[in-house]
Each structure stands twice: as structure tokens, then as C-alpha cells.
Amino acid sequence: MHYDSVTIDQTVDAEAALEFMKEATKLATTTQLDDVGDRLAEKGRLFADLLAPERIGDLDEEGLARLTATIFSLRRKAGRLLRANSLERLRDGLTALLYGEAPLAARFDRFVGAVEGVERGMAVALASECLHFADPGRFWLWTHWIWNPARGTGALALVTQKEAGLGVGGDGASDGEVYERVGRAMAMVDAQGHAVGFSRSGRGLYGTDVFLACVYAVYMYTVFRVKLSQEFNRILPELPELVERVLGVHRREKSLERAD
């Protein structure tokens, strides 16, 4: 891939985006990143199957464990979720989130507010991952490594201008409203990314998911390199593995692993 001599969009900081991808492709091959995009498509098929309108009512503990095992912040948290929330409650909440008639922001807020036993950021991740991977043509991914509104940090903040309208904590926006803001910013990054090439490691928004995970990984390496000793840096996974882990598609993860 080549990331030079492109038009810079006013909202998307394409210059920064291209620099991040240049650094990422020094640490991972195009084939490795394309493979992550393929595995995101596999993950999407799992969510689409288990959460299909005609099947979501039959979601059982094993199915919930398979879903949470692919969510970075919730891996091995199926047990905790079920101890704090009945399976019926989770099924009903997911059904209303994915297929309810209320506006998206209201459905998102209702689901996140109803989930107990896990941190709010984990509930946000569960909601957004189920929406995105069950229907990637309509919904997008939002986790705190993508955008943390309380701190104004995350991969999106590193590749967008203020015109992206993400806002920062304290402006009174609900989780659902933030989700919609992230969607607008994500759409702009996706359009620019596919136009100039930095979102091509996957079809549709999956390519932008991979790109943002690369941005996050490169940023993490930069921070660790500055703040931590070289010996400690050795415990960091290689960039392809870090990207796989935050996107929940690392090969060595057990799809049915249960703990906590």
C-alpha cells in the first residue's frame, strides 16, 4: 500500500491518518491486515446468525458466551453478565436494541442503562458490537478505544478535526447521542479512507474498523515507547496481534471460553 500524495479532507485529518497507516504497515503486512478484515467478516456472520430476528429469542448461555468472547472488554464476562442480568432480560434488551421502533439513540440508552454487573463502558461496547456486527451496513462500532467522550481521547480523535462534532464529556450528551455522533464521524472517515486507501483492509466499515485499530495500536506503541522501559515494551504484543485483540478476532482466543 502507498499513502502519499492524496487530497486532504477538512473534517478527516487524512494527513495524520496516512502517517498512522505508514507506521502500521512498517509493523504489519498488508496480508496480515487483510486477514483481520476477513476475520471481522466471520465475526459478523456469527452475530448475524445468533442475533437474527427469527433466532434472537432462542439465544442461550452458550450463544451469549460466544458473542462476549469476541468483544475485547467483555471477553470471559458472560458469567458476570448472567449473574447480574437474567438471560431473558438480556435477550429482550438486545431484541429492543436491534429491532425496536424507538429512535436509535433512545434504544441505545435504554439498553446501556438496563445492563447491570459490568462497567458502563462494557455495556456500551456490548450494545455497539451487537448493532455493528449484526448489521454492518447500517451500524458502526463504538468502544472507548475508538472514542472516550469523558477524556476526549481515542483513535477517532487522532484522525479527525473538531468539525467532526464528537464533543467532549460534560456537554450533556447521552450514550445514545454519542453513538450517533461517532456514527457521523465514522462515516466521514470511512468515505475518505476507502477513497484514498487507508480503509481497504476489509469490506465496508470493517476496513475502517481495522484502520482505527491500527491507529490505536500505533498510538499505544508510541506512548509506551516514551514512558516505559525497553524491557517492559517487550511484553506488548506485535501490532497485528494487538489489532486482532482489540477487535475480538485473535485466533488463539477460544470462542466458547467462559470465566469470571
The predicted-structure confidence for 70-127, as pLDDT tens digits, reads as follows 999 998 888 889 899 999 999 999 999 999 999 999 999 999 999 999 999 999 999 9
Concatenating the DSSP letter of every residue in 131-186 gives HHHH-TTT-----TTT-BTTTTBSHHHHHB-GGG----TTS---HHHHHHHHHHHH
**Dist CA 173 CA 80 (whole Å):** 28
* Res. 18: pLDDT tops 50: yes
Average pLDDT rounded to a whole number, residues 166-179: 83
Q: What is the pTM of this model?
A: 0.89
Average pLDDT rounded to a whole number, residues 239-250: 93
CA distances from 130 to 8, 60, 97, 112, 244 (A): 33, 15, 9, 12, 18
Question: In this predicted model, which residue has the larger pLDDT, 15 or 66?
Answer: 66
Concatenating the DSSP letter of every residue in 14-74 gives HHHHHHHHHHHHHHS-HHHHHHHHHHHHHHHHHHHHHTSTTTGGG--HHHHHHHHTTSGGG
- Taken in order 78, 83, 86, 89, the sign of the CA dihedral is negative
pLDDT at 236: 74
- Average pLDDT over the chain reads 87
pLDDT at 64: 94
pLDDT at 169: 61
Q: CB atoms < 10 A from the CB of 7, how many?
A: 8
Cell of 163: 468539525
200 secondary structure, DSSP code: -
* Res. 5: pLDDT tops 50: no
Contact 17, 198 (CB under 8 A): yes
pLDDT at 70: 95
pLDDT at 235: 66
Contact 220, 23 (CB under 8 A): no
The predicted-structure confidence for 201-235, as pLDDT tens digits, reads as follows 778 899 999 999 999 999 988 877 655 555 555 66
Question: In this predicted model, which residue has the larger pLDDT, 223 or 7?
Answer: 223
**Dist CA 166 CA 156 (whole Å):** 9
Average pLDDT rounded to a whole number, residues 10-34: 89
User: What pLDDT band is residue 40 in, cutting at 50, 70 and 90?
Assistant: very high
pLDDT at 4: 41
The predicted-structure confidence for 125-167, as pLDDT tens digits, reads as follows 999 999 999 999 999 999 999 999 988 899 999 999 876 778 7
**Dist CA 232 CA 228 (whole Å):** 6
* Res. 240: pLDDT tops 80: yes
**Dist CA 218 CA 185 (whole Å):** 20
| Beta bridge partners of residue 153, listed in sequence order | 148
**Dist CA 255 CA 37 (whole Å):** 18
pLDDT > 70: percent of the chain: 87
How would you label 63-73 residue by residue, b for 16+ Cβ within 10 Å and e otherwise? bbbbbbbbbbb
* Res. 2: pLDDT tops 50: no
